[in-house]
Amino acid sequence: QESKSLKSEILGIIAPSFPAFLDELHCKYKNLGDGAIADYIPELSKVNPDLFSICVATVDGEVYQVGDFNRLFTIQSMSKVFAYGLALEDHGRDYVLTRVGVEPTGDAFNAIILDEQSKRPYNPMVNAGAIATTSLIKGKGATERLNRMLDMYRRYVGKDVYVDMSVFTSERSTGHRNRAMAHLMLNFGMIDGHIEEALDLYFQQCAVMVSCRDLAVMAAALANKGVNPITGEQAVDSRYVKDILSVMYTCGMYNFAGEWAYKIGIPAKSGVSGGIIAVVPGKMGIAVFSPLLDSRGNSVRGVKVCEELSQKFGLHMF
């Protein structure tokens, strides 16, 4: 009875106009050429700028998709959401809070700043905070930590995922800014000794390959109290879903987070490969992939599509 009413509630929002509206959005924005491809990681600059897909996965396991939805690309900063969940599972909320704050920065994702007083990075969604978060992942050695990270992704996606070695090595050999942040945090005791290993794991977690469809399912798991709606597997402890969604809501879109919360009104996270994931709690996960980015590192088409979806279906939380 309960699942029946849940289903009709979700369908009430989305059907019957939903799939047609996704097609319409795809048509409307597919020729929009605004924005630029991220090129500070050399391998990322090789992507085709025309790629574009929109996927929505509901908490009852329906998936709606349009465009290049099976095309694989690296997850980049969207990984920060999932790594934060794993760190919370490994250490609990109180300890994680001593190492990474939950305040939005209003600064760019790669800003080299720590909280004046506590010396913590501001939040787990910017690079400094994400590196500190990843350094908390437990495991006996680098391989076990990577395998635990990959297994976490497997639970969210519903199948094995792999690291793109070219993107990983490209970022490892050019990521001096991230390396500088790790050294700064080591200096303040915010991360422990093995920073090269922590950075490698961070670069690997960012270089995991996913499709737009995979991302929608991952977002839907967060909408579904941490349970993958297709496999039924618990991807992350339900206790931590509200922590994850709260920092996504306030910090997930970097120096656009306030405007995003104001206009679109749902927790979201972007990545420089051109993906955006958004979560409508209790209802659905949304993913958009389009590699052309605005000046803050958010996908131009991705922001527009989410804005229209939010308006059309009343997804804003308030």
Q: Which residues bind ligand DON (CB under 6 A)?
A: 76-77, 109-110, 127, 171, 178, 206, 270-272, 297
Closest to ligand DON by CB, 21 or 254: 254
| C-alpha 109: how far from chain center | 13
Is residue 272 marked as binding? yes
Token output for 56: 């929505």
3-state secondary structure of 229: coil
Nearer to ligand DON, 218 or 272 (CB): 272
Which of the following is catalytic: 29, 236, 254, 280?
254
Toward ligand DON, which CB reaches closer, 206 or 303?
206
Catalytic residue among 157, 210, 241, 272: 272
Q: How far is the CB of 318 from ligand DON (least distance, A)?
A: 25
272 is catalytic: yes
Give the Cα separation of 14 and 145 in Å (integer). Answer: 39
Containing 279, the helix (H) or strand (E) segment is: strand 275-280
Kindly state the smallest distance separating residue 261's Cβ from ligand DON, in Å: 17
21/27 Cα distance (integer angstroms): 10
Q: Which is nearer to ligand DON, 135 or 224 (CB)?
A: 135
Residue from 247, 253, 211, 216 nearest 81 by CA: 247
The upper half-sphere exposure of residue 228, i.e. CA atoms within 13 Å in the direction of its Cβ, equals 19
Phi, psi of 186 (to 5 degrees): -65, -40
Min. distance of Cβ 26 from ligand DON in angstroms? 22
Q: Is 254 a catalytic residue?
A: yes
Q: Classify 221 as helix, strand or coil.
A: helix
Q: Which residue is nearest to ligand DON (CB)?
A: 77
70 has binding-site annotation: no
- Active-site residue, from 84, 202, 240, 249: 202
Q: How many CB atoms lie within 10 A of CB 124?
A: 31
295 is an active site residue = no
Give me the count of residues in the chain: 318
Q: Is 202 annotated as a binding residue?
A: yes
Q: 64 a known binding residue?
A: no
Q: Is 110 annotated as a binding residue?
A: no
Active site residues: 77, 80, 202, 254, 272
Annotated binding site for substrate: 77, 127, 171, 178, 202, 254, 272
